[in-house]
Amino acid sequence: MNKINYLTHLPIVETFHSVQGEGTWMGTNAFFIRLAGCDVGCPWCDTKISWNVKKHPEIAIADLVAEAVNADPAIVVITGGEPLMHDLTELTQQLKAKGLQVHLETSGSHPFSGKFDWVTFSPKQFKHPHASIYEQVSELKVVVKDESDLDWAEKNAARIPHNVVKYLQSEWETSSSKDLVLQYVLSHSDWRVSIQTHKLLGVR
């Protein structure tokens, strides 16, 4: 297989037009670009299909941008997989040149690239974040399965600016994690509960 030319193409799992289901921009008209490739390995990952980059087509950046423009969304969300496995400079430059507002969802496990209007940082214990993410964070969102994730959340919160909004999100399949998150937020007023409304609504 030829090496991907990241200046012109990126490996893509899917694109779709929906609403942002989580965080500060919840409910916003959004065009999603899901990049292929992830080496973080979260056991509860709901997008394992994205992990193997070789299983997904390389799509021209110009075509992705045209699709996003055509959808006419309020925001474009670059997600994955782990999007920072790829150099996002060209994609974000082209999207912004069209006047689009560009958001990123990342575990921060690879060096930062690209220009964004909003960065959702969701650090994972399975592959620790690269130092370059911490000055880019717009909101912090930590998935909680057990108590160790609360320590992990605080460790990462200590490295981001004080005014960044911090969310805890219970792991969808683990019912005990819902209580853990609720109790923690009730006793730590600087944290908020994150809810995956797209799953409640039955949309993507």
Residues found near ligand SF4 in the complex (CB under 6 A): 38, 40-42, 45, 47, 50, 80-82, 107, 124
Interior angle at CA 48, CA 54 and CA 7, nearest 5: 40
155 φ/ψ angles, rounded to the nearest 5 degrees: -60, -40
Secondary structure, 3-state, the chain = CCCCCCCCEEEEEEEEEEECCCCCCCCCEEEEEEECCCCCCCCCCCCHHHCCHHHCCEEEHHHHHHHHHHHCCCEEEEECCCHHHCCCHHHHHHHHHCCCCEEEEECCCCCCCCCCCEEEECCECCECCCHHHHHHCCEEEEEECCHHHHHHHHHHHCCCCCCCEEEEEECCCCHHHHHHHHHHHHHCCCEEECCCHHHHHCCC
Residue (10 or 100) nearer to ligand SF4, CB? 10
Residue (53 or 91) nearer to ligand SF4, CB? 53
- For residue 192, the minimal CB distance to ligand SF4 (Å) is 20
Residue (106 or 138) nearer to ligand SF4, CB? 106
Interior angle at CA 201, CA 34 and CA 57, nearest 5: 15
Residue (82 or 139) nearer to ligand SF4, CB? 82
Residue (15 or 47) nearer to ligand SF4, CB? 47
- For residue 97, the minimal CB distance to ligand SF4 (Å) is 28
Residue (69 or 195) nearer to ligand SF4, CB? 195
- For residue 40, the minimal CB distance to ligand SF4 (Å) is 4
